[in-house]
Amino acid sequence: MLGFIKNLLGPKKPPPFDMEKAVGNYLLNLPKCTSKVVVTSPKYGDKCYQCEVLVDVNGLLPWAKHHAQAVWSGDKVEQAARIAIPLWLQDSNCNNPEPSYVPPYFVAVLRPYTLDFVNKGIAEIVCPDCNRIVDNVQMKKLNEKRSGGWSNWTDEWHCPAGHLLYREDHELHFHLR
C-alpha cells in the first residue's frame, strides 16, 4: 500500500550527478590515448565531414587544459567530458602513431573547435579518397546571403585533387533592436 501512495505522489528524484565519478568512469573506460586524436570523422556518424581531422596530442593538451577551466556547460555529461579530456591526453603514449578515436561525449566537446585546430596548425586532414594527409586544403564559402538579421552560407573544404572533405550549411540570426 505504501508503494502505491509513493507512486501517486510522483516519481522519485534522480540521484544528483556526481561529476568526479563521471570523469573517473570516462577515464577508466577509455583506451590509452596515442600521439594523435581523431576529432572529426565519418566514423562518428558526422554527415558534414567526409575526412578525418587528427590533432597532435602535444598541440591539443594546452588547449584542453584551458578549455576545461574556462568553459562550462549546462550539460553535465558534456562538462564531465570537458574535464576528462586533458587528464586523458596528459597520460598519452606519444610513441604510438595509431590515431585515437574518441567517444561521442568527447566529440561533442571537440568538434565545434575543428576549424580552430586546423587554423592553429595542430591538425592534419586526411582525404579518404587520396588516402593521405592533405597539406593544402581549399576552403570555400558558398551561397552567402544576408537579409536583415539573417545570414546563411555553406562552407566546403576540398583536397588539391578536388575531393570533398567537408560541407556544412550554416544559418545565423542576429536579433536587431
- Digit-coded pLDDT (tens) for 144-161: 888 878 888 899 999 999
- Indicate whether 98 pLDDT > 80: yes
How many other C-beta atoms lie within 10 A of the C-beta of residue 171? 9
pLDDT in tens, 33-74: 999 999 999 999 999 999 999 999 999 999 999 999 999 888
> By three-state DSSP, how is residue 109 classified?
helix
User: What pLDDT shows up at residue 3?
Assistant: 60
Q: What is the domain range of residue 82? A: 19-135
DSSP state of 13: P
| Residue 102: predicted pLDDT | 93
- Domain tally, the chain: 1
The answer to whether position 6 is within a domain reads no
Q: Is 171 in contact with 150 (CB distance < 8 Å)? A: yes
Residue 13 domain-assigned? no
The structure's pTM equals 0.82
First to last CA, the chain: 59
Q: What is the torsional sign of CA 73, 76, 106, 24?
A: positive
Say whether pLDDT at 91 is over 60.
Answer: yes
Residue 90 lies in a domain: yes
Segments of the chain assigned E as strands: 36-40, 52-56, 99-101, 123-127, 132-134, 138-147, 150-158, 164-173
Query: Residue 85's closest CA among 115, 48, 110?
Result: 110
Comparing 16 with 30, the larger pLDDT belongs to 30
Q: What angle do CA 166, 172, 176 make, to 5 degrees?
A: 165
Does a structural domain hold residue 157?
Answer: no
The verdict on residue 142 lying in a domain is: no
pLDDT at 25 over 90: no
The answer to whether position 75 is within a domain reads: yes
CA-nearest of 130, 99, 108 to 46 is 108
72 inside domain = yes
User: What does the mean pLDDT of the chain come to?
Assistant: 88
Within a domain: residue 89?
yes
